[in-house]
Amino acid sequence: MAQESPKNSAAEIPVTSNGEVDDSHEHGFNRDLKCSLPAGLGLSETQITSHGFDSTKEGVIEAGAFQGGQRTQTKSGPVILADETKNPAMEKLELVRKWSLNTYKCTRQIISEKLGRGSRTVDLELEAQIDILRDNKKKYENILKLAQTLSTQLFQMVHTQRQLGDAFADLSLKSLELHEEFGYNADTQKLLAKNGETLLGAINFFIASVNTLVNKTIEDTLMTVKQYESARIEYDAYRTDLEELNLGPRDANTLPKIEQSQHLFQAHKEKYDKMRNDVSVKLKFLEENKVKVLHNQLVLFHNAIAAYFAGNQKQLEQTLKQFHIKLKTPGVDAPSWLEEQ
């Protein structure tokens, strides 16, 4: 009688009717193990997978992050941080480099022009208009200075006439024998002082208008002229660089430099043309404004002086009304903003 050999549970492999391995026991074991785990270990899902008897691995325990009953695998890789922000120090350094290079080119151009070695771009018609403007500005400044001197002297004379009239009036009251004579002179000096104040108002208005024309309108145009001259120097400097590069050899090293120089030359040429057009327009409008302003002011100055020395008080006052000039009464302060309301 044959003796039945003992069975090893590890070697028992259940087989279905189709001849396939029945793994229902394995899944049942995994389910029982999962249910037996404490609630605190629910952060991850644990799965035990057993392999066949002939496998080299006896068992694998896989653990993954638990998300909704499914296990997800986390893929790790190199992290690349894109630094899109530029360094401010490098930007400032680049600006300083461009400014230094531009200053060097312009300085070299100015020196070469003064030494007679470099060529310069000249617009004969525009340069002539600029020279006339600068010469006229000097002459207008001289007229303005003389008019201010006249105003100061006239103010002193009017002040003296007013004091003299007060002195005559006081003596007219105290000297009975010469009462009429002192009274006539007092009235004359007071009338002269009044007419002098009227003439002083006309002269001061003339000075204010000419000062605005010289130190604001003409000065603004001359500032545009200075910008035009700077643009002209930059244009000639980059034009000279391009001409020197074109005279040299053309190879792989010089062609990029020629292209860059051509690009910079074109940019400065456009700037130069724009500034030249701006100066032409401003000179045209300045001439029209200058003629209009000086025409009115010269008529005012002439009529006021003529009426004053002719002793025509009515004509003098009419001249001030014609140009809407209001005189400030001596000793009376300007009304406050509450009184004006």
**Quick one: pLDDT band at residue 328, thresholds 50, 70, 90?**
low
Closest Cα to residue 29, out of 13, 51, 45, 50?
50
Which DSSP symbol is given to 40? G
Choose the weakest-confidence range: 17-26, 234-243, 246-255.
17-26
Mean pLDDT of 40-66: 44
Q: Is the pLDDT of residue 10 over 70?
A: no
- 138-320 belongs to which CATH class? mainly alpha
Which pTM does this prediction carry?
A: 0.63
Tell me the average pLDDT across 211-233.
93
The domain ranges of the chain are: 138-320
4-8, 216-220, 250-254: range with highest mean pLDDT = 216-220
Mean of the per-residue pLDDT values of the chain? 76
> CA–CA separation, 299 vs 301, rounded Å?
6
Q: pLDDT tens across 80-104, in order?
A: 444 445 688 888 888 888 888 878 8
Mean pLDDT of 36-56: 44
Residues 292-321 pLDDT 10s: 999 999 999 999 999 998 888 888 888 888
For 147, other C-beta atoms within 10 Å of its C-beta total 18
Query: How far apart, in whole angstroms, are the C-alpha atoms of residue 129 and residue 225?
Result: 11
What is the b/e burial string over 275-307, where b = at least 16 CB atoms within 10 angstroms of the residue's CB? Answer: bbebbeebbeebeeebeeeeeebeebbebbbeb
Would you say residue 136 has pLDDT above 60? yes
